[in-house]
Amino acid sequence: MDQENGLQLLQFIRNENIDLDVILITSANDLESITLGKRYGVIDFLVKPFTFERFKEALERYQSFQKLAKPLNQQTEIDQLFHDQRFEGFLPRDLPKGITKETAIRVLHAFNDCTTWLTTAQLSGQTQISHVSLRKYLRFFSETGLLSKEVIYQSSGRPLQQYQLTSKGEEIKQNGFI
């Protein structure tokens, strides 16, 4: 944008009462810009450079928000819309770099109906997440105690890594969180 920035354009849009949902894509990552974006009602804030995976998550989150066809009458329904509180107890607030809450939940959902070990390839197919990205999440869940990892050496000598929910992961699953 020539002389203006996205926040100035967003302010104009809000002042004109234009009904428009905005995912703000910017290089501004200072607290003032983020706060201003929230104040103007952005639905997501992507700081350049960002990954395609993060962009896709923003669009999917927006898409799921748009699918709400019924009015929200209960405070709990509204809270679920703004805060997916089901996962607050086992996902830390400050996730490590490269780990997002939405993708973490997607990975855990892959174990929902599973009682056996799953390989990285199987999980990648179920979640539609690349092997490289998926490995970060599997390592994270192994370190936090939600997944067990088993390495099997195939006849070719290549190790096959497979994962299964731990008792802690099963407890979360039984409580309906996965």
Tens of pLDDT, residues 100-146: 888 888 888 888 877 789 999 899 988 899 988 999 999 998 988 88
Residue 86, pLDDT score: 46
Residue 42, pLDDT score: 87
CB 143, CB 169: distance < 8 Å: no
Residue 87, pLDDT score: 47
What's the whole-number mean pLDDT along residues 147-169? 86
Domains (range + CATH), the chain: 1-65 (3.40.50.2300), 92-178 (1.10.10.10)
Residue 103, pLDDT score: 86
Q: Please give the model's pTM, rounded to 2 decimal places.
A: 0.49
**CA atoms 54, 178, 111, 145: torsion sign:** positive
Residue 153, pLDDT score: 86
Residue 45, SS3?
Answer: strand
Residue 85, pLDDT score: 46
**CA atoms 57, 62, 63, 64: torsion sign:** positive
* Residue 12, pLDDT above cutoff 70: yes
CB 110, CB 123: distance < 8 Å: yes
Residue 67, pLDDT score: 60
* Residue 166, pLDDT above cutoff 70: yes
Alpha-carbon distance 160 to 122, whole Å?
Answer: 12
- CA 43, 44, 50: angle at the middle one, nearest 5? 160
Confidence at 152, pLDDT banded by 50, 70, 90 = confident
* Residue 63, pLDDT above cutoff 80: no
Q: What mean pLDDT is reported for the chain?
A: 80
Alpha-carbon distance 175 to 120, whole Å?
Answer: 25
What's the whole-number mean pLDDT along residues 21-41? 86
Residue 25, SS3?
Answer: strand
Per-residue pLDDT reduced to its tens digit, 15-25 = 999 888 889 88
* Residue 149, pLDDT above cutoff 90: yes
Q: What percent of the chain has pLDDT over 90?
A: 11
